[in-house]
């Protein structure tokens, strides 16, 4: 819808998130050394954490722009339930950050010497896990909507809530690395992601309403 088009045309945020993601992935080998075995070992965790942080970058703009120019008031007044609007915004955010990050991840996995089967699992885990990041992030973004220093509080609020996604996502990759079946972890990740996408529009809509002074 409108949000996706806006995000696509401004274009900046996706490219920014991607560069951030790639930069973090570049800095890690510089920090821990170029030992390829070690890098393959930590790749899943590093890339997952980097992806979550990169997605955070653009989250505080999720409702902010519409809030500042007043269009959020109009959206709230429109017959469309605010929950659906929140869901649309989550999808738009995912399409502009989560999806590009996922598409870039196999390339970075090569840099980390991750074997192909584990790379596939990393790709799948990011594909099903990043919607949860956008969804939980939307709750944080809507809660910090009217704050001037919201950018600092937002990560503090949502990062602990995202711990399960990182655990299951990175866990699936290291299981695959050891040659074990990763379906279990992926299933749990999918469940977490599904529940997050399903429930968070309600929480986000409720907190948008309260920030509009309802």
Partner 1 sequence: MNFLFRYANPHEFMRLSGAVLPFTAVATVLCLAVGLYLGFSAPPDYQQGRTVLILFIHVPAATMAMGVYGAIAVCSVLSLVWRHPLSDTAARAAAPLGALFTALGLITGSLWGKPMWGTYWVWDARLTSFLLLLFLYIGYMALWNAVEDEARAARAAAILALVGAVNIPVIKFSVNWWNTLHQGESIVSGQLAPVFLTPLLLMMAGYGLLFLTLWMVRIRTAILERRARNLMQAGTP
C-alpha span between 98 and 57 (Å, rounded): 12
C-alpha span between 26 and 139 (Å, rounded): 30
Main-chain phi, psi angles of 11, to 5 degrees: 65, -30
* Closer residue to partner 1 in complex, CB, 118/205: 205
Q: Of the candidates 44, 129, 131, 164, which one interacts with partner 1 according to CB under 8 A?
A: 164
Binding status of residue 24 toward partner 1 by CB under 8 A = no
Binding status of residue 143 toward partner 1 by CB under 8 A = yes
Binding status of residue 22 toward partner 1 by CB under 8 A = no
CB of 19 to partner 1, least distance (A): 28
Binding status of residue 206 toward partner 1 by CB under 8 A = yes
Nearest to 140 by CA among 60, 51, 54, 53: 60
* Closer residue to partner 1 in complex, CB, 100/164: 164
C-alpha span between 47 and 56 (Å, rounded): 14
Tokens of 10: 């401004």
Q: CB of 135 within 8 A of CB of 90? A: yes
Binding status of residue 147 toward partner 1 by CB under 8 A = yes
Assign 181 to helix, strand or coil. coil
Place of tokens 């990169």: 54
* Closer residue to partner 1 in complex, CB, 25/166: 166
Binding status of residue 188 toward partner 1 by CB under 8 A = yes
Which range touches partner 1 (CB under 8 A), out of 13-21, 24-32, 49-57, 136-144? 136-144
Q: CB of 93 within 8 A of CB of 138? A: yes
CB of 129 to partner 1, least distance (A): 12
C-alpha span between 127 and 162 (Å, rounded): 15
Q: Using CB under 8 A, which residues numbered 47 to 76 contact partner 1?
A: none
Nearest to 169 by CA among 152, 189, 141, 191: 189
CB of 102 to partner 1, least distance (A): 21
Task: Write out the residues near partner 1 by the rule CB under 8 A.
Answer: 139, 143-144, 146-147, 149-150, 153, 156-157, 159-161, 163-164, 167-168, 171, 185, 188, 192, 199-200, 203, 206-207, 210-211
């Amino acid at each position: 819808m409108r949000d996706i088009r806006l995000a696509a045309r401004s274009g900046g945020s996706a490219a920014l998130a991607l560069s951030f993601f790639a930069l973090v992935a570049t800095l890690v080998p510089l920090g821990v050394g170029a030992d390829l075995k070690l890098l393959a070992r930590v790749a899943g965790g590093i890339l997952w954490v980097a992806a979550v942080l990169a997605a955070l970058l653009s989250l505080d703009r999720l409702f902010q722009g519409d809030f500042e120019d007043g269009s959020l008031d109009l959206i709230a007044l429109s017959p469309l339930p605010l929950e659906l609007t929140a869901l649309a915004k989550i999808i738009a955010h995912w399409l502009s950050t989560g999806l590009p990050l996922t598409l870039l991840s196999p390339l970075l996995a090569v840099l980390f010497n991750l074997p192909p089967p584990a790379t596939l699992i990393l790709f799948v885990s990011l594909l099903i896990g990043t919607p949860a990041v956008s969804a939980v992030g939307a709750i944080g973004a809507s809660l910090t909507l009217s704050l001037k220093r919201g950018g600092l509080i937002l990560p503090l609020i949502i990062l602990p809530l995202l711990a399960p996604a990182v655990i299951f996502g990175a866990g699936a990759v290291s299981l695959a690395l050891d040659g074990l079946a990763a379906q279990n972890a992926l299933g749990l990740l999918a469940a977490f992601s599904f529940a997050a996408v399903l429930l968070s529009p309600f929480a986000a809509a409720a907190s948008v309403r309260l920030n509009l002074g309802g």
